[in-house]
Amino acid sequence: METGINVSSIASDLREYEDFIQPYEDAVSIVQVWLETLDKDFQRRHKHNPIHSMQSRIKTLNSIVGKLDRKGIPVSFEAAKDYLTDIAGIRVICFYVQDVYTIVNILKKQMDIIMIKEKDYIEEPKKNGYRSYHLVLGVTVYHAEGKQYYPVEIQIRTLAMDFWASMEHQLCYKAVRDDKTLLSKELKECSLLLEEIEGRMERFYDPEAEREG
């Protein structure tokens, strides 16, 4: 029966995607182990877990194709490898702003990494109010044939920053609305309020006290 769908071509694309994506999954696993170790070590030394939670994600084939298309780059796995640094991503949610910087500093000291991109949107928030620390690390993945760096985008932010980013994404993503100006103004104000609130709460956090307790 002629379905118009080339099943063997889809199967071969999927196989190619699986081969392509495997080292990115390996790179994410490596960073997750670093972060889990760091969190446990910090708890042992300071009686405090800097990491509240973590999520990782690998871009789907559809999303890779969509992003290359949007950037006007002809779609291929080679192009994805050369131009996309967010195929593998990890989001790390912390309690306090100082935890974010603790994690950033420890990650930067890991062996077998290169720094590809670093943006401190906490020190310098985006115009819309977005706050977060972004790193793209090249993480060494060892294969039978040798080793290679694969980029992992790591977004590190506090609970308050994550709350704002999730709400902003929910309210703005693909939304067609006629109150955009008011919404942007409100979101900016909410970001400043949340920054103030987390600062007030963080003032009560004393790492020395936790160590003694």
Residues labelled catalytic: 153
Q: How far is the CB of 187 from ligand 0O2 (least distance, A)?
A: 9
User: Within 10 A of 8 (CB to CB), how many other CB atoms are there?
Assistant: 7
Tell me the H-state helices in 52-179. 61-70, 77-83, 97-108, 159-172
Please return the burial class of 115, using the count of CB atoms within 10 Å of its CB with bins 0-12, 13-18 and 19+: exposed
Q: What angle do CA 22, 28, 32 make, to 5 degrees?
A: 145
Q: Which is nearer to ligand 0O2, 6 or 166 (CB)?
A: 166
Report, in Å, the least distance between residue 190 CB and ligand 0O2: 13
Closest approach of Cβ 136 to ligand 0O2, in Å? 8
Which string of DSSP letters, residue by residue, matches 42-84?
HHHHHS--SEEEEEEEE--HHHHHHHHHHTTPPP-HHHHHHH-
Q: Please state the closest distance from residue 119 (CB atom) to ligand 0O2, in A.
A: 5
CB-based closest residue to ligand 0O2: 130
CB of 206 to ligand 0O2, least distance (A): 31
Q: Which is nearer to ligand 0O2, 134 or 188 (CB)?
A: 134
Closest to ligand 0O2 by CB, 42 or 161: 161
Binding site for ligand 0O2 (CB under 6 A): 86, 119, 126, 128, 130, 134, 155, 165, 168-169
SS3 of residue 159 by DSSP: helix
Radius of gyration, alpha carbons of the chain: 20
Beta-sheet pairing, 133-143 with 51-58: unpaired
Q: Are 148 and 140 in contact (CB under 8 A)?
A: yes
- Comparison of 97 and 165: residue with beta carbon closer to ligand 0O2: 165
Q: Tokens at residue 71, please?
A: 């950037």
Considering the complex, state which of residue 102 and residue 132 has its C-beta at the smaller distance from ligand 0O2: 132
